[in-house]
């Protein structure tokens, strides 16, 4: 009988030791994963770029409609601020949140519609006054099926920013208009600094909720 209890004790002791070992290894594995995630975040390429406008007039056709090569038009195909802006936008894979006072540029609206057609979740917040002016592209975006919300105040919704895939921020003085792109002195900061991106994400979500059409009172 004593031998039986001794064997039983040894068996359960072995099982408990195995469970403890598995628990320790699992804990170490989780800690290692957390360390790797923190390392990868730090290792992620830091993006900090500033674009100045007015931009040179360049052809954006290859970026929007042609996989490679030039379109053959007589416009310059050299690098420019507007080309770099469009390339950043075309890098979007999952979501694009736009909060824009004025949006009248055809090439930028074509870029946004193209992203929507690719399956990117596009949301737009606009100013109620300027979205109704002649030349505004908000109607085109809505017709394409892109959700747009706007303020209901006499004060301007004067923001000018975009967030790509919730990780890259584009913000500055630049309205998305042809005049701003090609004539005005403007600036655009592009960064993936999480400390800067998050407040803009929070602001977008706050306005998106505030401008819910079910809450309009006119």
Report domain extents, the chain: 1-43, 48-215
pLDDT at 9: 55
Q: Which of 88, 150, 159, 160 is catalytic?
A: 160
Residue 158 annotated among the catalytic residues of the structure: yes
Q: Please give the model's pTM, rounded to 2 decimal places.
A: 0.77
One digit per residue, the tens of pLDDT, for the chain of length 218 reads 555 555 555 665 677 767 766 767 676 766 766 666 665 555 568 999 999 999 988 887 766 766 555 677 777 878 899 999 999 999 999 999 999 999 999 999 999 999 999 999 999 999 999 998 999 999 999 999 999 999 998 899 999 999 999 999 999 999 999 999 999 999 999 999 999 999 999 999 999 999 999 988 76
- Rounded CA-CA distance 201/217 in Å is 26
Closest CA to 144 of 124, 125, 172: 124
pLDDT recorded at residue 145? 98
End-to-end CA distance of the chain: 88
Catalytic residue among 18, 70, 158, 198: 158
Check residue 64 and give its pLDDT. 73
At residue 3, the pLDDT reads 54
pLDDT at 40: 57
Q: Which of 77, 116, 165, 193 is catalytic?
A: 165
Task: Let me know if 7 is a catalytic residue.
Answer: no
Domain covering 48-215 in this structure, CATH number: 3.30.870.10
**119 alpha-carbon distance from chain centroid:** 14
Q: Is 212 a catalytic residue?
A: no
User: For residue 125, which of 156, 94, 154 has the smallest C-alpha distance?
Assistant: 156
Residue 95 burial (C-beta neighbours within 10 Å; 0-12, 13-18, 19+): middle
Task: Report whether 120 contacts 150 (CB < 8 A).
Answer: no
């Amino acid at each position: 009988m004593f031998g039986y209890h001794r064997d039983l004790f040894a068996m359960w002791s072995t099982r408990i030791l195995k469970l403890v070992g598995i628990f320790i290894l699992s804990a170490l594995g989780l800690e290692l994963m957390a360390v790797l995630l923190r390392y990868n975040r730090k290792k992620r390429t830091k993006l900090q770029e500033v674009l100045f406008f007015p931009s040179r007039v360049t052809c954006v056709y290859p970026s929007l409609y042609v996989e490679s090569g030039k379109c053959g038009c007589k416009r310059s195909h050299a690098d420019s601020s507007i080309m770099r802006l469009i390339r950043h936008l075309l890098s979007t894979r999952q979501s694009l949140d736009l909060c824009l006072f004025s949006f009248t540029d055809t090439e930028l609206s074509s870029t946004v519609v193209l992203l929507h057609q690719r399956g990117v979740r596009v949301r737009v917040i606009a100013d109620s006054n300027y979205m109704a002016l002649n030349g505004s592209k908000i109607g085109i975006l809505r017709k394409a099926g892109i959700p747009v919300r706007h303020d209901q105040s006499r004060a301007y919704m004067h923001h000018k920013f975009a967030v790509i895939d919730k990780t890259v921020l584009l913000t500055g003085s630049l309205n998305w208009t042809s005049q701003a792109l090609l004539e005005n002195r403007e600036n655009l900061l592009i960064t993936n600094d999480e400390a800067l991106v998050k407040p803009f994400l929070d602001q977008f979500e706050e306005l998106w909720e505030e401008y819910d059409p079910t809450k309009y009172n006119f």
